[in-house]
Amino acid sequence: MQPALSIREVGEAVSRARTGAAEYCTNFFPSPQKLQGWISHGELFCDERAGVAFFLRKDRGFWHLYFCAADPATLQRALTTLPILGTDPIVLDLVGKEAELARLIALFEAAGWHIYNRLFRMARTVTAAAAAAPGTPDSRVVVADRAEVPAILDLLLRSFDCRAEQIPMLYEVEAAAAAGQIWVARYAGGLAGLLFFETQGFSSLLRYWLVAPELRTQRLGSALMRRYLAEQPAVRRFLLWVAASNPEAIVKYEHFDFAREGLVDYVFANDRIRP
């Protein structure tokens, strides 16, 4: 396993796995910006086998596993030759439509992996005429400033399972705050909640939306969501991922007209991780 040193090097490894592939399969879809961040911070490693390129990304005490394989059978064989799978805690995500994932799900279960969590994607589609009106902004909801970044990350880590929900690293939170893509709710002089998003053109991904448990009667969550929707007048498609095991969150998203759209994310873990 070697550190990945450039986007070009990663692309070449992917190409070698893909060349001549009859049933190419992968779970590796990072944006160039995200990929460069992983490389620049020494988080990404590569391990190539015949017909397969494995990528492992360091997180907080565990690894994320990504693969690019010529076909499922080649992937299954290569998994048995990867030493780190027997020594370190590792998770991987399989994203797609339920029926299309069946073969890969069976493959990883046969290899000794277990389903750690399951998320599904929800979407909210709007037209220009139906875009949220600005309204009167809630003074408790403001764009996060750089000084709040450590508190934002602490609240994320306390509120979500980083093995299942892709909690960003400190440098990613800093970049999002600098880009104005984190709204925070302040109450009694402190950080009470946040909404973390990524908007590109006509699409916006809502990554995290939460309020501290002890303050959930203050209607801060609604204030955050309404401000987010109103401040994105050009967006026509809002997306998010939510854990299937979190019915309360699902109901709240449905209240704001989000609906399931068919994509699922099965989070698998090796035997070094248990729910």
The structural domains of the chain, with segments of one domain joined by +, span 2-88, 127-235
| Predicted local distance difference test score (pLDDT) of residue 16 | 95
| Predicted local distance difference test score (pLDDT) of residue 132 | 61
Tell me how crowded residue 112 is: count the other CB atoms within 10 A of its CB. 12
- Beta strands at 182-187 and 2-3: parallel, antiparallel or unpaired: unpaired
Dist CA 233 CA 236 (whole Å): 8
Q: Give the ranges where 41-144 is alpha helix by DSSP (H).
A: 72-79, 98-110
Binned average pLDDT, 10 residues per bin, the chain of 275 residues: 94 94 94 95 96 97 97 95 94 96 96 96 81 70 94 94 95 96 90 94 95 82 92 93 93 94 96 85
Cβ-contact 208, 195 below 8 angstroms:
yes
Query: How far, in Å, are 92, 116, 216 from residue 52 at the CA level?
Result: 16, 24, 47
Residue type, 197: F
| Predicted local distance difference test score (pLDDT) of residue 196 | 97
User: Which residues partner with 243 through β-bridges?
Assistant: 119
Supply 17's token pair.
């796995």
Architecture of domain 127-235: 3-Layer(aba) Sandwich (3.40)
Dist CA 247 CA 263 (whole Å): 17
- 161 contacts: CB under 8 Å, gap ≥ 6: 117
